[in-house]
Amino acid sequence: MKTIIERIDPNNINTEIISRAGEIIKNGGLVAFPTETVYGLGGDALKAESSEKIYAAKGRPSDNPLIVHISDMADLGPIVSEIPEDALKLADAFWPGPLTVIMNKSKLVPYKTTGGLDTVAVRFPSDPVARAFIKESGGYIAAPSANISGRPSPTSGKHVVEDMDGRIDMILYGDDSLIGLESTIVDLTGDKPMILRPGFVTADMVRKILPDIIFDPALTSVSKDAHPKAPGMKYRHYAPKGSLVIVEGEPKAVVSYINNRLNEDKAKGKRTGVIVSSATAGSYLADRVYTTGDAGDEQAVAHNLFGILRQADDDEIDSIYSESFEDDGIGTAIMNRLLKAAGHNIVHI
Ligand code: TXA
Ligand code: MG
């Protein structure tokens, strides 16, 4: 398939391009588009065939449900059986923005879109290109992250081209994603509101609106048998081609531990890399030093992380070590993604 790639400027949106993208969706095709979290791979959420195409393009198991993106609060009612009071509160606080809310679905949403579930995940993104595109497409865009299943989510147009060129009809190639991590997911269909995936909207921020909020216990469980409520959280994700080990401990000890391991790896002829904050970047002996920004600057780390994991693959790194990040605030989301990428391979020293 020939993929049309269109550059799009969020500050001066070319309506002719958006209108063509909308036509593609209405005709059952697929268009990748920027959002403030990561790029999405969009199809008509109300057409079962479009969702099937999304699964095929991503190489994703079809029991893993898609998020339905809207661009207007008025479009929420028709796709849910009822709008919970808590959803209105969350929407007031965080929409448009990087939050996904799970509610009971209406008949309008096909089971192909929800992976067979009676619930639907809904997000109202803030990105202006995303909003214009969703509106022009009829209001309901099913979109997972626009990566091949298992790879890090794309945070730039370049990443999307790498994974999706030749597989979909069009790529809206905009700016790099502002946030760089996927949305926080809150499930409102259980006894208590529950965070199924940590993100930029932190647990503390949600707790101010819904004091009862809890984390899905499977998120923090060390057991490999834990069953996360978001089906997608059970899959191995983001893993670079090389091995990735996270090292946690006092900064000086971390540097010397990693340098020892780097020396061993180099002696075996491996290409090595480290993922570290700017404070210690100069201390490592790796072939490639990937800097996340200041360790304290969680937003910078979030913004850079997926791009770094992809870059390590481009650089053909065999063995990667990463410093650990504070498991608090946005750091909870960063560590969640990093641990998945490392297959939970973490050394405490
Ligand atoms: O930031 C984001 O959320 C991005 C952008 C494109 O909006 N999208 C995204 O989609 O990350 P995806 O498909 O890569 O991740 C969606 C996650 C998966 O873990 C999936 O299992 C979960 O949401 N999910 C979707 N619908 C669900 C439902 N009804 N119940 C439980 N989990 C659900
Ligand atoms: Mg994804």
What whole-number distance in Å separates Cα of residue 133 and Cα of residue 19? 8
- Name the DSSP class of 47: -
Atom of ligand 1 nearest to the CA of 60: 13
Q: What is the pTM of this model?
A: 0.97
How many domains does the structure of the chain reveal?
Answer: 2
In a domain, 235, yes or no: no
Look at residues 186, 219, 252 and tell me which one is the last residue of a structural domain. 219
* Confidence check: pLDDT of 209 > 70: yes
- Are residue 34 and residue 141 in the same domain, yes or no? yes
Indicate the helix (H) or strand (E) that contains 92. Answer: helix 85-94
- Are residue 99 and residue 46 in the same domain, yes or no? yes
Q: How confident is the model at residue 292 (pLDDT cuts 50, 70, 90)?
A: very high
How confident is the model over 59-96, as pLDDT tens digits?
A: 988 889 999 999 999 999 999 999 999 999 999 999 99
In a domain, 232, yes or no: no
Residue nearest (by alpha carbon) to ligand 1 atom 31:
230
CB 63 within 8 A of CB 116: yes
Atom of ligand 1 nearest to the CA of 147: 14
CB 76 within 8 A of CB 122: yes
How confident is the model over 139-157, as pLDDT tens digits?
A: 999 999 999 998 999 999 9
- Are residue 198 and residue 257 in the same domain, yes or no? no
- What is the domain range of residue 274? 243-348
CATH number at residue 59: 3.90.870.10
In a domain, 42, yes or no: yes
Q: Which residues does 194 contact at the CB level (< 8 Å), separation at least 6?
A: 186, 187, 213, 214, 215, 216, 229
Cis peptide preceding 152, ω within 30 of 0? no
- Name the DSSP class of 61: -
- Are residue 194 and residue 249 in the same domain, yes or no? no
Residue nearest (by alpha carbon) to ligand 1 atom 6:
40
In a domain, 188, yes or no: yes
In a domain, 238, yes or no: no
- Are residue 250 and residue 196 in the same domain, yes or no? no
CATH number at residue 318: 3.40.50.11030
